[in-house]
């Protein structure tokens, strides 16, 4: 961990653009410039993997843990490459800039990608570069492209309800599908190539500005994904290729029935016998994309809550151990360094804390959780922070600071907050005082969601874990990132040694 860094949490879909959803184009490059002016050296994002309307457009439920989201492709950069024309972009339907319009954005960008694909095929150098990309990424790309083409051919059906020969990946059936769906496969490859080119350009721009990128890797993958279809032996599936146990977390103070996530559980015995090869490829892909990787639900690598698939909730689950030591020894042999941030929130016991320290991985501390009845011992209070951690005001799953203050923090919580600050103040000042506390922490990194920097209310919240619709839609408006705001952040970063 580089000591005393500070940064902002913002997903690219939240950036301004005229095409219904933020992308990797001009607004992303401008945001990197803003971070540099503000003295911020970190840009944290959510997963960049494909999203689907049927999964609530969540970046944590994807058809692939390797692929990039085609919605993040910038039409404006395709114009610069000569693959689209300004006239193509002028045909965009009227799209709101206040919320992400996933449906309309997907329809319009799909048409643009088909045009760009036809033009790319006419340019030999681009076609050769695409071929090199496809060859180098074939270990995941071919299964992903075929999965997406088959999902389009069998709409509304999970992959284990596809024809048996395709479900079970019989070679003859797959060869016939590749021939039948060749045009679709070519378009899917093209989209991944364009995503990779645009992402590489953005990351290089960020790094030149002194900004490192923190990516996000969910521990589990979605059942209806290329990952599970192509690697069924790596998951606990029955003879019909359906999960017989699923992932989640047990009942706790916040939920008497726990959380039943429904993701398939890993077959760790199989993974171990094969040297954790799939996990190593997956982590290698993420380490190539990002400077740091936030590993979601880190505790599941030590012990995980396994729920019988027929159970409606998480009450009847059981703890199962994962081969943590063997797993990380394999990773250490493969990778020279592991710049991983362990998301260690929730039910964390001594074994998880020891596992994180053993691997010298920073954990997470959330200031919004700090002002409960257990003061002054609460581990999220700044005086209890540790250098090997990343301090946040809140995460994408929490309310914004303003929303928390107005809707969730009761009077007793407010009084503890005032007492900690040594003064009473209005919510506008409280938000900046909490940002100040986070940046003043001894934690090696400090990250603030952009909604908190802007002082926005709960309408700007990114995700409400208890609901499946209406999430992931907040967008930054043009003009909200002022020079005064950059100056205020820069002054705090300088004050607390994070510049």
Q: Which residues are catalytic?
A: 296, 343, 397
Q: The sheet that has 5-9: what strands, in order across it?
A: 340-342, 292-295, 212-217, 42-44, 5-9, 445-449, 389-392, 363-366
Give the chain's radius of gyration (CA, Å). Answer: 23
Strands (E), 10-130: 42-44
Peptide bond into 344 cis (omega under 30): no
Distance CA(92)–CA(213), nearest Å, equals: 31
Place of tokens 């009450």: 315
Strands 340-342 and 292-295: parallel
DSSP string spanning 78-109?
HHHTTSS-HHHHHTPPP--SSB--HHHHHHHH
CB 51 within 8 A of CB 57: yes
- What element of type H or E holds 308? strand 303-308
Q: How far apart are CA 222 and CA 62, in angstroms?
A: 6
Consecutive H or E run containing 36? helix 26-37
Token pair, residue 122, equals 């006419």
Decide: helix, strand or coil at residue 365: strand
Which strand ranges, in their side-by-side order, compose the sheet holding 303-308?
259-264, 245-249, 303-308, 318-321
For residues 189 and 134, is the Cβ–Cβ distance under 8 A?
yes
Crossing angle between the packed helical segments 277-289 and 324-334, to the nearest 10 degrees: 50
The residues, ordered by sequence, that sit 6+ positions from 272 with a Cβ below 8 Å of its Cβ are: 323, 326, 327
């Amino acid at each position: 961990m580089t000591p005393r860094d500070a940064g902002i949490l913002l997903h690219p879909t939240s950036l301004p653009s005229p095409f219904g959803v933020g992308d990797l184009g001009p607004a992303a490059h401008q945001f990197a410039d803003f971070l540099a002016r503000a003295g911020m050296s970190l840009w944290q994002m959510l997963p960049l993997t494909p999203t689907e309307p049927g999964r609530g457009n969540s970046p944590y439920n994807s058809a692939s843990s390797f692929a990039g989201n085609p919605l993040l492709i910038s039409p404006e950069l395709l114009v610069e490459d000569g693959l689209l024309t300004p006239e193509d972009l002028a045909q965009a339907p009227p799209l709101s800039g206040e919320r992400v319009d996933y449906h309309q954005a997907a329809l319009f960008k799909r048409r643009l990608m088909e045009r760009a694909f036809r033009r790319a095929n006419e340019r030999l150098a681009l076609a050769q570069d695409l071929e090199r990309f496809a060859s180098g990424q074939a270990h995941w790309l071919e299964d992903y492209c075929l999965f997406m083409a088959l999902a389009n051919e069998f709409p509304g059906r999970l992959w284990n309800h596809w024809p048996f020969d395709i479900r079970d990946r019989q070679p003859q059936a797959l060869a016939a599908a590749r021939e039948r769906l060749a045009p679709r496969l070519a378009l899917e490859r093209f989209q991944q190539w364009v995503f990779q080119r645009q992402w590489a350009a953005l990351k290089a721009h960020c790094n030149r500005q002194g900004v490192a990128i923190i990516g996000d890797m969910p521990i589990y993958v979605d059942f209806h994904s290329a990952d599970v279809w192509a690697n069924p032996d790596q998951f606990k599936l029955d003879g019909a290729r359906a999960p017989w146990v699923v992932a989640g977390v047990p009942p706790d103070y916040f939920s008497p029935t726990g959380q039943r996530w429904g993701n398939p559980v890993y077959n760790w015995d199989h993974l171990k016998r094969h040297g954790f090869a799939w996990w190593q490829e997956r982590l290698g892909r993420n380490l190539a994309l990002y400077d740091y990787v936030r590993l979601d639900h880190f505790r599941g690598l030590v012990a995980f809550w396994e729920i019988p698939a027929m159970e409606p909730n998480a009450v009847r689950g059981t703890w199962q151990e994962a081969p943590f030591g063997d797993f990380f020894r394999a990773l250490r042999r493969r990778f020279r360094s592991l710049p991983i941030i362990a998301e260690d929130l929730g039910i964390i016991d001594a074994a998880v804390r020891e596992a994180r320290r053993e691997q010298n991985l920073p954990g997470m501390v959330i200031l919004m959780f700090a002002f409960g009845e257990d003061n002054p011992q609460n581990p999220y209070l700044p005086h209890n922070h540790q250098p090997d951690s990343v301090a946040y005001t809140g995460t994408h799953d929490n309310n914004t600071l303003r929303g928390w203050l107005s809707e969730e923090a009761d009077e007793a919580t407010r009084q503890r907050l005032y007492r900690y600050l040594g003064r009473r103040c209005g919510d506008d000042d409280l938000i900046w005082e909490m940002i100040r506390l986070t940046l003043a922490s001894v934690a090696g990194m400090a990250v603030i969601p952009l909604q908190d920097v802007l002082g926005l209310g709960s309408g700007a919240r990114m995700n409400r874990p208890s609901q499946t619709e209406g999430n992931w839609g907040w967008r930054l408006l043009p003009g909200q990132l002022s020079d005064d705001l950059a100056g205020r952040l820069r002054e705090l970063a300088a004050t607390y040694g994070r510049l």
